[in-house]
Every structure is written in C-alpha cells, then in structure tokens.
Amino acid sequence: MNWSARTVSTAAAALSLLLSHHLTNAAPPLAGSTLQGPRIRVEGETFNFGYVPQHAFMTHTYWLKNPGTETVRIQRLAPNCGCTTAPLTDSVITVGDSIPLEITFGSRGMLGHVEKHVRIFANAAGRIPALTFTADVLPDTARGPSVTMLPRAMKVNPVNQPAKGNWTVEMTLMNNGTQPVDVRAVSWPWRGFKLGGDRYTLQPGEKRPIMITMAPLAGGTLGKSVTFELSDPPGTRVSASIMPLEQGDEQ
C-alpha cells in the first residue's frame, strides 16, 4: 500500500488530537492518604450496648485518632444528656497518635430504646465525628434476651476491695434459650480490667462463670461494664455492670 505524504500528515494530526483529548479528560491522579491540618477520626463512631439493666452504669471506650498533619487540641466534650459523663483526661492528639475516651451512661430512669450523643469541640479541620451509643434498657423483672448476665448489675462493697493490687469478681453467663449460642465479648474497660475469656459456646440451659480481674473501683467511680454479642442473626448484645454500693443499698 502506498501512503502519500499528505495522508501520513493527516493521520499524524488526527492521532495527536486523539491523544491530546484523552490526556485532557483522563482522571486526575489519586491524592495522598495524608489529610492536611489537624484531623479527628474515630473507628466505630456508634456503639451498641444492647440490652442493659436499669439503675446501672455502662462504660465504653472510643479511640480518637489524628490522621492529619498538625496536632489536634480538644476544647471540650458535650454530651446531649445528663445521664452521660465523658471526662476529658487528655486534650491533645499528636500527629498519627490516638487517645482513649471513656464514656459512662447511667440508665436510671430510662426504659426501652435510647440513643445518646457526645459532641467533640476541637481545632480539627473537616468533619468532626459525634460519638453515638444506643441501648435497650430492661426493667429488673424483664426476662431479656436468650443469653443474660447474672447479676445484670453487680454491686460491690468498697471496703471489700484490696487496698492495692487487683481483685477478682465472678459473674455468670446463662443461656435461657433452646439452641446453642456462641458468645463473644466486644467491649470492656481498656485498662485495669481483664476477662477470664472473651469467647464462649453455651448449650441450652447452661450457666458459665465469668471471672473478671479488675483494679479496685476508685472513689467517685460510677461503674464499669462488659458487653457481649450473641451469634444469633440479629447479633443481639447484652451488657452487665459492676459498680460500688450506694448509700441505701442492701449490704
């Protein structure tokens, strides 16, 4: 095949135009993973306590991370309910670091499904997540889910705690249903609290003791809690609380 100079020139021009159009409309390169400025990210912004007892205190620890390029400084935390406390024990998150934030929810006066929030006020750029938790509060006489903790709320006498060092308390997981259930712990205090095991299989009617080693509850402590998730299709959760005796409680 013979190609004239004009034909070759025309084809080259067309190819050049096509390449120019492709490069002009190509997708931009992916941006780097580093976010500019101070940033706050929380893995698991929403936590589900599941079924909880009335007149108890439940705790959960959120981890706040700074994936940005500047230090985060938290000014304050604002729960949307007086039933929730969120003490700010560390207000600075350096670049690439994380800090724990433990919230405590008091279920006194509550019944049924509740949803609460804690707002974070900080110098962070972009979206600042709100910490959210949900719970289904059961009265003391309610049967509850197929697996329950006994007791649902354990009250300990501070005078029985050691002056220093850890001590051990015992609670019980019970399967009230007709089918075997796998149970796993999904939340417990990150410091000063250790479970004897975090995964169990309970046969129908079985009771399984749970040994908990924990630091003594300091003065002013409202309580601590552990949350278990069941293997049923909804992923039912149940939480139990350990808290100090209050004035007027039975010894």
- For 113-171, the pLDDT digits (tens) are 999 999 999 999 999 999 999 999 999 888 889 999 999 999 998 888 888 889 999 99
Contacts of 154 (CB under 8 A, 6+ apart): 169, 171, 240, 241, 242, 243
Token digits of residue 206: 């079985």
Read off the pLDDT band of 33 (50, 70, 90). Answer: low
Closest CA to 72 of 117, 121, 130: 121
pLDDT of 52: 97
Angstrom distance (rounded) from CA 122 to CA 57: 27
Token digits of residue 22: 């492709």
pLDDT of 23: 36
Is residue 238 within 8 Å of 149, Cβ to Cβ? yes
Read off the pLDDT band of 14 (50, 70, 90). Answer: very low
Of 10 and 219, which is predicted with more confidence?
A: 219
pLDDT of 250: 55
